[in-house]
């Protein structure tokens, strides 16, 4: 089982990197990518845990890069197998992480304006050391304070992208993120491509721009893509020689997504791995 998209508590997942590796080993996953939002800070702990085990599971270093198009649509690009020491890519991720703090202050001010008593310190309590701050941590803080029952409830009521409380943060354009990932020797896969514009057909132009920037794959098998969307995406991938991936987008207890609930076919993974400029899979 090959799962190319998972989160730890270095972003908005709830398992530590060590705990995620243990869980993946218990579930006999063969290839696991760790793709925290805008950060690779969990990879070292994952490597130490894997090398300390007796398993031959393959670990794929990665990150999920938050991006925004010209017209403000949020797009997530998975970077896999890039050089973790690449300064340009790490700098863009650091800028995004930094900007997420001011952005959170703005969301909190809007919520306080609506009578919700919530402070930055409440949100930071929900965060592991050095983790990428995001709306899920705010959701956890609001649940803890008794305003809501679950992350999902907070998102569907007040934290979704069209909410009046929504504020965006600095992020690169999708084609810029792809170019950075490629320059760092990695491969770029667009995550859950239709999640933010459900029901709309693929905007061929936007996608074509991503292909020109060097896109390597499309995450087709994901709970946010319905059957007809998956068919369209497969068609587009075949026409553009892109790999087709499937993955869980596991977030521990933060989302319903189960580890390896969707997986990538071995030949599609091989296609992707062959497109990185060095062998960066970690295996004992």
62/108 with CB nearer Zn ion: 62
Q: Where are the beta strands (DSSP E) in 150-198?
A: 187-190
Q: Is residue 62 within the footprint of ligand AMP (CB under 6 A)?
A: no
Q: Which two tokens stand for residue 44?
A: 């070292």
Q: Determine the Cα–Cα distance for residues 149 and 152; give it in Å rounded to an integer.
A: 8
Given the rule CB under 5 A, which of 59-67, 141-149, 238-246, 266-274 is the region that contacts Zn ion?
59-67
Q: Where are the beta strands (DSSP E) in the chain?
A: 2-3, 31-37, 58-68, 74-80, 187-190, 217-221, 243-246
Nearer to Fe ion, 55 or 76 (CB): 76
Q: Which residues on neighbouring strands pair with residue 244, listed in sequence order?
A: 218
Q: Spell out, one character per residue from 168 to 197, where the chain touches Fe ion: x when CB under 5 A holds, - when not.
A: -----------------------x------
Among 140, 249, 268, 273, the residue binding Zn ion under the rule CB under 5 A is 249
> In sequence order, what are the residues at sequence separation of 6 or more whose Cβ sits closer than 8 angstroms to the Cβ of residue 134?
11, 12, 37, 100
Q: In 47-81, which positions are buried (b, 16+ CB within 10 angstroms) versus exposed (e)?
A: bebbeeeebebbbbbbbbbbbbbeeeebbbbbbbb
Instruction: Select the residue whose beta carbon is closest to ligand AMP and give its number.
Output: 134
Q: Is 76 an interacting residue with respect to Fe ion (CB under 5 A)? A: yes
Q: x/- contact string, 191-230, with ligand AMP (CB under 6 A)?
A: ----------------------------------------
Measured CA distances, 230 to 75, 193, 194, 225 (Å): 17, 10, 9, 6
Stretch that binds ligand AMP, among 52-60, 87-95, 249-257, 273-281 (CB under 6 A): 249-257
For Zn ion, the closer of residues 37 and 55 by Cβ is 37
Among 3, 12, 216, 273, interactor with Fe ion by CB under 5 A:
12
Contacting residues toward Zn ion, per CB under 5 A: 64, 249
Q: Where on the chain is the footprint of ligand AMP (CB under 6 A)? A: 12, 37, 66, 134-136, 151-152, 155, 251, 254-255
């Amino acid at each position: 089982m090959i799962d190319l998209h998972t989160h730890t508590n270095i972003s908005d997942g709830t398992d530590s990197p060590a705990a995620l590796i243990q869980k993946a080993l218990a579930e006999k996953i063969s290839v696991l990518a760790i793709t925290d939002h805008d950060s690779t800070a969990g990879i070292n702990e994952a490597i130490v845990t894997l090398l300390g085990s007796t398993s031959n599971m393959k670990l794929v270093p990665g990150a999920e890069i938050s991006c925004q198009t010209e017209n403000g649509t949020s797009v997530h690009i998975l970077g896999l197998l890039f050089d973790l020491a690449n300064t340009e890519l790490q700098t863009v991720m650091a800028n995004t992480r930094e900007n997420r703090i001011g952005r959170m202050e703005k969301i909190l001010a809007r919520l306080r304006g609506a009578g919700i008593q919530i402070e930055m310190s409440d949100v930071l309590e929900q965060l592991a050391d050095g983790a990428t701050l995001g709306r899920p941590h705010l959701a956890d803080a609001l649940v803890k304070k008794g305003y809501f029952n679950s992350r999902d409830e907070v998102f569907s009521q007040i934290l979704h992208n069209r909410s009046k409380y929504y504020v965006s943060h600095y992020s690169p354009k999708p084609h810029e993120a792809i170019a950075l990932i490629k320059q760092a020797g990695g491969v770029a896969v667009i995550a859950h491509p239709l999640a933010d514009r459900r029901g709309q057909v693929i905007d061929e132009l936007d996608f074509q721009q991503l292909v020109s920037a060097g896109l390597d794959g499309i995450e087709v098998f994901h709970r946010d893509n319905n059957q007809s969307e998956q068919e369209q995406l497969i068609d587009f991938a075949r026409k553009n020689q892109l790999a087709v991936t499937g993955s869980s987008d596991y977030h521990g207890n933060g989302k319903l997504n189960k580890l390896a609930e969707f997986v990538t076919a071995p030949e599609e993974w091989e296609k992707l791995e062959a497109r990185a400029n060095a062998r960066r899979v970690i295996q004992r």
